[in-house]
Chain A
Amino acid sequence: MRHLEEDRGVIHRTVKTLFIKPRLSGSRFDEHSLPLEVLKDWAAFEELVLEVARSVYLQNNPTRKQVPRGFAEGFSLHLSGVEAGSAVPVIDRLIPDGMLPFADDIFAVARNLVLLTISAVTIGQPIPVEFPRELLGYFDKFGKSLRANESVELSAPGQAVPVLYDKAVRKKLVLLGGAREYRATAELRGWVSEVNVEKQSYILKLVNGDRLPGQFAPEIRKTVVAALDEYEESKVLVRGIVIYDQGDRPRKIEQTAHIELLDANDVPGRLDELALIKDGWLEGGGTAPSREGMNWLAEEWTGSYPGDLPNPFVYPTPEGNVQLEWTLGQWEVAAEIDFKTRRAFLFAVHTETEETHDGETDLRAAAGWESLALFVRNHLTA
């Protein structure tokens, strides 16, 4: 497709060609749109392809010490649209007319080499010898926003079988380059245990006792200081770029994008604590709560439990499930959640009159969460 752009009276011609159409999967992409933070990943992809192209050019032209002038200017990627399925960004290359004779293919070669490298790691093969190992560090930027349940299918135009890129593949690529750590966008819960206002730094203490140093921007200073006052009372939720070691243990918060003081009974935060329980916790018996079940509950809770209702206390049951409990005036309300069936058994008793109510609901469906909320609400107002 050919475009005319007018700039200060000078007519420039550009050619737009499809460069890559990745398919992004995960709940964040269900609306067939892209969260803005994901765009940074594709800016990093552009950088990666450019650097690989530069390296390929020099490999193919061993007598040259540097790429020709205008090499980088000849490569510019644009987001032209987002198609459905979950979300498919259409990424085009815009080529100024004057650049057309100049090695158009080298960027396509570089893109294909990037895809081959990802594919090799996905299937456990060595990466192609043509791929410069020193550039593996670029994967630390590309895909930094990917979450655990998200993936990207990458394919060059005309390529039938896509290459899968996710958090695990990305980590392998970064570590293959000799790095001892990797970066990822993450959400962490813990207590702010120290603040140094002068250095704009703080310590986030996780429930397992790990202490992570972090940096904050002046805009969020008040929240960080307020969080320090709530140490061991209320946790905070930190979103940002986290540095992980090879064993996936968070070591440092490189960039704090957001910090939020949580309710004292924040349910996902309490589930983090319960995740530390080991089998035999109850007088030698007692099964540790299922990790998978707690991950499911933490995610569902955030999306499904109304924010205007009080948060419950959460306790493990000897069978490896959890019981939620609310004290609402004279009403003692409980919901025992069975992680296998994802059903909740509801019970309420008025401690003076001894009137009782009970019920059962299926939390696999939105209606089940509505029933749970209604059960709590009814005893809140009764």
Chain B
Amino acid sequence: MNPDTLLHRQISPPWVQKNRVTSQAFRPMPKDKSLLSVYDGDLIDAEASWQHFTVTQGFASAGVCAVSVAECAQQNVPARPDPDPDGKPFPEHAVIDFTGKGNSAAEKISKILRNKAEARGWLYQADV
């Protein structure tokens, strides 16, 4: 993982409207314990990550957007590999760490990251 590494984020279908993704997709939910789950783009490409998320894990995803490790670092939410979440091997798994960020800070960061991801465009989009 280096500053240019892209971190692939799966987007839940209700979080897309007219191709625009909500900023909520770029901040952890309370159940995530401040860690936003992403795929390490150096280890898996966008389409393969979508296949893993939807087929292996059985969740719904409208497609894949990404932010870079450097963009996260600029917002003081460092990214790091997390290949063993919940004690299960998952080498491509990584997290963006929002630990210590309050609601307001997380809200701000999510909107900036959303903006960066939108400028990059969809890396993979499921057929509707």
Contact = CB atoms under 8 A, between A and B. Distances in A.
Interface in B23-55: 23-24, 29, 31
Which of A265, A325, A356 is packed against the most chain B CB atoms within 10 Å?
A325
B55 to A, nearest CB: 14
B112 A325 contact: no
Interface stretch (A94-102, A217-225, A299-307, A308-316): A308-316
B15 interface: yes
B120 interface: no
Interface string A190-201: 000000000000
B59 interface: yes
B112 A351 contact: yes
A314 B17 contact: yes
Contacts of B101: none
B108 A315 contact: no
Contacts of B14: 274, 277, 281-282, 315-316
For the side of the interface on B, what is the size category? 20 to 34
A283 interface: yes
A313 B112 CA distance: 17
Nearest to B108: A349
A371 interface: no
A103 to B, nearest CB: 64
Given A283-B12, A315-B14, A332-B23, A351 B31 contact: no
Contacts of A315: 14-15, 17, 22, 24
A349 B12 contact: no
Contacts of B60: 281
B67 to A, nearest CB: 13
B24 A265 contact: no
B18 A264 contact: yes
Interface in B52-79: 59-60
A282 B12 contact: yes
Q: On chain A, which size bracket covers the interface?
A: 20 to 34
A101 to B, nearest CB: 70
Nearest to B111: A332
Q: List 9 tightest A-B contacts by C-beta distance, closest first.
A: A332-B111, A315-B22, A351-B115, A313-B17, A349-B108, A349-B111, A283-B59, A316-B14, A347-B107
Interface of B: 12-15, 17-18, 20, 22-24, 29, 31, 59-60, 104, 107-108, 111-112, 114-115
19 contacts: A264-B18, A265-B17, A265-B18, A274-B14, A282-B12, A313-B17, A315-B15, A315-B22, A316-B15, A317-B24, A323-B22, A327-B20, A332-B111, A332-B114, A332-B115, A334-B23, A347-B108, A356-B104, A358-B104
Contacts of A265: 17-18
Interface of A: 264-265, 270, 274, 277, 281-286, 313-318, 323, 325, 327, 332, 334, 347, 349, 351, 354, 356, 358
A313 B111 contact: no
Given A283-B12, A283-B59, A354-B108, A313 B20 contact: yes
Given A281-B12, A318-B29, 20 more contacts: A277-B14, A282-B14, A282-B29, A283-B59, A313-B22, A315-B14, A315-B15, A323-B22, A327-B20, A332-B111, A332-B112, A332-B114, A332-B115, A347-B107, A347-B111, A349-B107, A349-B108, A349-B111, A351-B111, A351-B112
Given A282-B12, A315-B24, A323-B24, A334 B107 contact: yes
Most buried by B among A264, A277, A282: A282
Nearest to B31: A285
A286 B22 CA distance: 15
A314 to B, nearest CB: 7
A325 B15 CA distance: 11
Contacts of B104: 347, 356, 358
Given A270-B17, A285-B31, A351-B115, A325 B59 contact: no
Contacts of B114: 332
A307 to B, nearest CB: 20
Given A315-B15, A351-B115, A356-B108, A284 B59 contact: yes
A334 B111 contact: yes
Contacts of A327: 20
Nearest to A264: B18
Nearest to A289: B14
A104 B18 CA distance: 64
